[in-house]
Amino acid sequence: MVIGGGYGGMASAARLAKLGHGVTLLEAADELGGALRPVEQDGFTWDGGPATTLLPAVMRDLFRKSGRPLERELELEPLEVIREHRFEDRTRLLMPASRAGQIAAFDDLGKGFGRQWTDFVDGFAEDWEVLRQHYFEVPWTPGALPPEVAARLDSRETLAKRIRRSFRDKRLRMVAGFPLEAEGHNPRDVPAWAGLVHYLEQRFGVWTFPGGMHQLAGLMAARLATRKVEVLTATTVTDVMLRDGRVAAVAFSGPDGDSQIGTEYVVSAVDPRRLPVTERYADKTLPAMPPQIFHLGLEEAPTLPAPEIVLHGDPYMVVRAAGNAWTVHVRGRLLEDVTIALARHRLDVRQQVVTRVDLGPRELVGQWGGSPHGMLWMGRNTVHQRLGPTTPVPGLYAAGAHATPGAGLPFVGLSAALVAQAITTDTGGGDLRA
| Summary mean pLDDT of the chain | 94
Contact 393, 277 (CB under 8 A): yes
Looking at the DSSP bridge assignments, the partners of residue 298 are: 353
Looking at the DSSP bridge assignments, the partners of residue 259 are: 252
User: Does residue 42 have a pLDDT over 90?
Assistant: yes
Radius of gyration of the chain (CA): 22
Contact 332, 315 (CB under 8 A): yes
pLDDT of residue 139: 84
DSSP string, 90-158: S-EEEEESSHHHHHHHHHHHSTTHHHHHHHHHHTTHHHHHHHIIIIISS---TT---HHHHHHHT---B
Determine the length of the chain: 434
pLDDT of residue 215: 97
Phi, psi at 402, each rounded to 5°:
-80, -5
| Inter-CA distances, 330 with 40, 203, 339, Å | 20, 28, 12
- Label residue 209 by pLDDT band (50, 70, 90): very high
- Label residue 284 by pLDDT band (50, 70, 90): confident
Burial of 272 (0-12, 13-18, 19+ CB in 10 A): buried
Average pLDDT over residues 38-54: 97
pLDDT of residue 335: 94
pLDDT of residue 428: 60
pLDDT of residue 430: 54
| Inter-CA distances, 266 with 238, 242, 386, 395, Å | 13, 11, 17, 6
pLDDT of residue 295: 98
Average pLDDT over residues 186-192: 97
pLDDT of residue 352: 97
Which of 181, 175, 176 minimizes the C-alpha distance to 163?
176
Average pLDDT over residues 400-417: 92
The long-range contacts involving 248-255, CB below 8 angstroms and separated by at least 24 positions, are 250/1, 250/3, 250/26, 252/26
pLDDT, tens only, 111-135: 999 999 999 999 999 999 999 999 9
- Label residue 432 by pLDDT band (50, 70, 90): low
Determine what percent of the chain is predicted with pLDDT higher than 70. 98
pLDDT, tens only, 122-172: 999 999 999 999 999 988 776 788 999 999 999 999 999 999 999 999 999
- Label residue 429 by pLDDT band (50, 70, 90): low
Q: Is the pTM of this model over 0.85?
A: yes
Determine what percent of the chain is predicted with pLDDT higher than 90. 90
Residue 146 burial (CB count, 10 A): 13
Residue 75 burial (CB count, 10 A): 10
Lowest mean pLDDT among 6-20, 325-339, 370-384: 370-384
Lowest mean pLDDT among 209-223, 231-245, 276-290: 276-290
Contact 378, 394 (CB under 8 A): no
